[in-house]
Amino acid sequence: MNIYDFTVKDNKGEAVSLSVYRGKALLIVNTATRCGLTPQYEGLEALYKKYQSRGFEILDFPCNQFGGQTPEDDAGITEFCTINYGASFPRFAKIEVNGENTDPLFVWLKENAPEEEADEVSRAFEERIKAFSPFTSPDDIKWNFGKFLIDREGVIRIRYAPVAVPEKLEGDIESLL
């Protein structure tokens, strides 16, 4: 099984096969609209504008599992992201990334990704959020804005911590293009 075997729902409820992204470098992100990390949308959009013409896509998967920080429905999420950040990359239906109702894509991502890259900042962030998150297993998505970078062959190359700002991913993205 690989990334192209999955079908997900877009933000209008329509099925989308991820095979439409075959041959592209992907950044898959679980996002939130009311989180302290939500301003990362600005950096994500900048990356998208800079690299999309070279075969790069960002796939946005909103999630409400971390402190209820994505209360809107799919239409409200899209409106928020467009108005506040001009986010134009593909957005999908709100999903769960941990627990018994984890979306199959995120089950696969967590099982097949290399260990999350962690620096001092991300380790400190993880310590701070332990009191707010019931998700404590090593493979769990830790919070909003966890990221997975996938190469053009569909192989997960890097798993980033939520606090990894988009600007810091540029070199890794460049290497895949």
Q: Where are the beta strands (DSSP E) in 10-167?
A: 15-17, 25-31, 56-62, 147-150, 156-160
pLDDT tens per residue, range 155-171: 999 999 999 999 999 99
Residues acting as catalytic residues: 35
The count of structural domains within the chain is 1
Work out the pLDDT band at 117, boundaries 50, 70, 90.
low
pTM greater than the 0.85 cutoff: yes
CA 110 to chain centre: 12
pLDDT tens per residue, range 23-38: 999 999 999 999 999 9
* Domain carrying residue 100: 3-176
Phi, psi of 29 (to 5 degrees): -135, 130
Give the CATH number for residue 92.
3.40.30.10
